[in-house]
Amino acid sequence: MAAILRLAVLFSALGLGYSLYIDGCPLYGCRPSGSFSFYLQVPRNNVSINWETQFVFDAVPKGLGCVSDSVNIVCPSNGPFSTDTGYMSLYNTNGTIRWRDTVLKFPTLPMIDNYGDVTGSDGLNLVHYDCDGKTYPIIKCYGLKPMFNMQLVGTMYLLLVSEQGGLVVRETNAIPVAEIFLNDTIQRTNGTFLPISQPVVNGQRFYLLTEFVPEIDEFDPSILNLQRLYAIDVNNRPANIMTIAWCYDFEMERSDDNFESTIATRENKIKHIADSIQGQQNVLWNSNTGSVYVALPPPYLSKSITQRSFWGFRDAGDSPALSIRSDLDVIHMATFEADTSDDEKFHSINSDNDMWIATSDVKLSSVKLDGKISRTIDVAALVGADVTMTSSLVLVRENDTDNDVLIFGANITKPSNSPLLRSIGVNLASKNFVLAIDTSAGKLLWVFSVPDDYEVKGQISGFSGASYRELDQLIFYMENSKKTAKILSIH
């Protein structure tokens, strides 16, 4: 009974329907829309280490990062013991372990509700802990190995995506209520559209990027590599709970291009999808523009498409209206989403709210509703050295009217080449940094040398310290070349 109530609390606290209050970055993408943004009093000067974990653990596969709110900080762990491959909850004061989950094996990022309760899954089990680590009954998941994190849809539903392409919706009491497969016949070949993105949510609707996997053992990838964006509704009714609202097909490669034909195997394609997708952001829903944005990866074994492309669609309800189609090699996206996004007043204040994209050459561009780029911040030019982004991008604001600050982990190959870095006195012997960009000025707010030159990876999250009379913290996952990992808090 307790588990049921607690899950209900989780949903009503995080749900979009009413009293939305998301504090920090409590799930993958920070919000169900995948906005990668949260409120934080950004450290402005004298940025320093608050704590770093002192215990040894190994790099977590795919370096997903952490989730946190002002009650809890939770990260996937990997060691030191073989049972330590689930979640660990850390004290915000000193980064020591508050409790560990010993049930899950390499789960995706969990969700934290406003009470600090944690829900997560590795595809075999669904677990729920209260903020002190007390376990609620473990729920077995059959035939379900989510390749992505779970997602909240509306206020009542938990969505899980299985490795075979089944989409399962569970109610607040964790009972499965609906399952659909995205099966179709493409060029007379039966197959399934498998997810290649984290689902992102707009009210009762979610968007999922998929790629066709034929049910035959061998096929020509250029003929059967169709990628498709689905908009799927989760309806509050007893039957027909999940319905497809619309889908959009990204055009296929032509098979008569002058290339040798290759053969792909179903097994390898499924393995490729499973290996490459977790923790990668491909889709974002922006409620300010009523649009869904897609950073489309090249299809598996594509002969002619080798780069990502960037797409935008206004959701017209029962169909998509293509608004952006560009060759930009977008690797991350972030947009500010206010807590009061359902409020009319908000729209008038923030109608010029842009979204930010990061391209592989580490240019940060602000994109307007119609896809026009209003400005670009060239990070390598700002720094005066070659820069690579190592983590996801995150956007923070102190309040709704504050300016966007963009934060990410960066690898700077020759920091000593940069007059700027030499002048501000960072550690020129290290290559790994955290950069904060003040977008209003188009300037670096600060550059922080990561201790011991660990590389920052995965999602960056935040912890509000107001109720503890402490500074707000930024939380990072980082690892070194020997595959040892640490969690770092700066303030």
DSSP letter, residue 301: T
- Helix locations, 230-365, DSSP H: 266-277, 344-349
- Mask 201-220, x = binds ligand NAG (CB under 6 A)? --------------x-----
Which two structure tokens, joined as six digits, stand for 140?
A: 């077995």
Contact between 42 and 143 (Cβ < 8 Å):
no
Is 467 a binding residue for ligand NAG by CB under 6 A? The answer is no
Q: Which stretch binds ligand NAG (CB under 6 A): 267-275, 349-357, 398-406, 438-446?
A: 398-406
Distance CA 3, CA 5 (A): 5
Q: In the complex with ligand NAG, which residue's Cβ is closer, 46 or 240?
A: 46
Q: What are phi and psi of 319, to 5 degrees?
A: -160, 160
Q: What are phi and psi of 10, to 5 degrees?
A: -55, -50
Q: What are phi and psi of 21, to 5 degrees?
A: -140, 95
What is the CA angle 308-301-389, rounded to 5?
35
End-to-end CA distance of the chain: give it in Å, rounded. Answer: 40
Q: What are phi and psi of 274, to 5 degrees?
A: -65, -40
Tell which residue, 98, 112, 79, 107, has the closest CA to residue 6: 112
Is 183 a binding residue for ligand NAG by CB under 6 A? The answer is yes
Is 440 a binding residue for ligand NAG by CB under 6 A? The answer is no
The only residue of 205, 308, 332, 431 in contact with ligand NAG, by rule CB under 6 A:
431
Distance CA 234, CA 32 (A): 14
- Mask 4-23, x = binds ligand NAG (CB under 6 A)? --------------------
Site for ligand NAG in 53-72 (CB under 6 A): none
Distances (CA, A) of 85 to 61, 94, 104, 139, 291: 10, 21, 7, 18, 37
Is 402 a binding residue for ligand NAG by CB under 6 A? The answer is yes
Is 399 a binding residue for ligand NAG by CB under 6 A? The answer is yes
Is 457 a binding residue for ligand NAG by CB under 6 A? The answer is no
Is 304 a binding residue for ligand NAG by CB under 6 A? The answer is no
The only residue of 82, 258, 401, 423 in contact with ligand NAG, by rule CB under 6 A:
401
The only residue of 83, 94, 236, 374 in contact with ligand NAG, by rule CB under 6 A:
94
Rounded-to-10 torsion of CA 170, 14, 243, 282: -110
The only residue of 19, 83, 96, 416 in contact with ligand NAG, by rule CB under 6 A:
96
Is 48 a binding residue for ligand NAG by CB under 6 A? The answer is yes
Cβ at position 360, least distance to ligand NAG in Å: 10
Q: In the complex with ligand NAG, which residue's Cβ is closer, 319 or 413?
A: 413
Helix, strand or coil, per DSSP, at residue 17: coil
Q: In the complex with ligand NAG, which residue's Cβ is closer, 164 or 304?
A: 164
DSSP letter, residue 451: G
Q: In the complex with ligand NAG, which residue's Cβ is closer, 25 or 213?
A: 213
Distance CA 355, CA 459 (A): 18
Which two structure tokens, joined as six digits, stand for 64?
A: 């997903």
The only residue of 46, 258, 306, 423 in contact with ligand NAG, by rule CB under 6 A:
46
- Mask 121-160, x = binds ligand NAG (CB under 6 A)? ----------------------------------------
Is 255 a binding residue for ligand NAG by CB under 6 A? The answer is no
Cβ at position 241, least distance to ligand NAG in Å: 16
Contact between 60 and 477 (Cβ < 8 Å):
yes
Contact between 430 and 418 (Cβ < 8 Å):
no
The only residue of 398, 420, 427, 471 in contact with ligand NAG, by rule CB under 6 A:
398
Site for ligand NAG in 335-394 (CB under 6 A): 388
Is 468 a binding residue for ligand NAG by CB under 6 A? The answer is no
Is 307 a binding residue for ligand NAG by CB under 6 A? The answer is no
Q: Which residues pair with residue 335 across a beta bridge?
A: 355
What Rg value do the Cα atoms of the chain yield, rounded? 22
Cβ at position 405, least distance to ligand NAG in Å: 9
Cβ at position 183, least distance to ligand NAG in Å: 4
Q: Which stretch binds ligand NAG (CB under 6 A): 180-188, 241-249, 277-285, 421-429?
A: 180-188
Q: What are phi and psi of 378, to 5 degrees?
A: -90, 105
Distance CA 32, CA 16 (A): 9
Is 455 a binding residue for ligand NAG by CB under 6 A? The answer is yes
Q: In the complex with ligand NAG, which residue's Cβ is closer, 230 or 313?
A: 230
Distances (CA, A) of 353 to 165, 241, 350: 35, 34, 5
Q: Is 400 exposed, middle or buried (0-12, 13-18, 19+ CB in 10 A)?
A: middle
**How many residues of this chain bind ligand NAG (CB under 6 A)?**
24
Q: Which stretch binds ligand NAG (CB under 6 A): 60-68, 76-84, 117-125, 185-193?
A: 185-193
Distance CA 38, CA 56 (A): 29
Q: Which residues bind ligand NAG (CB under 6 A)?
A: 46, 48, 91, 93-94, 96, 164-165, 181, 183, 185, 190, 192, 215, 388, 398-399, 401-402, 411, 413, 431-432, 455
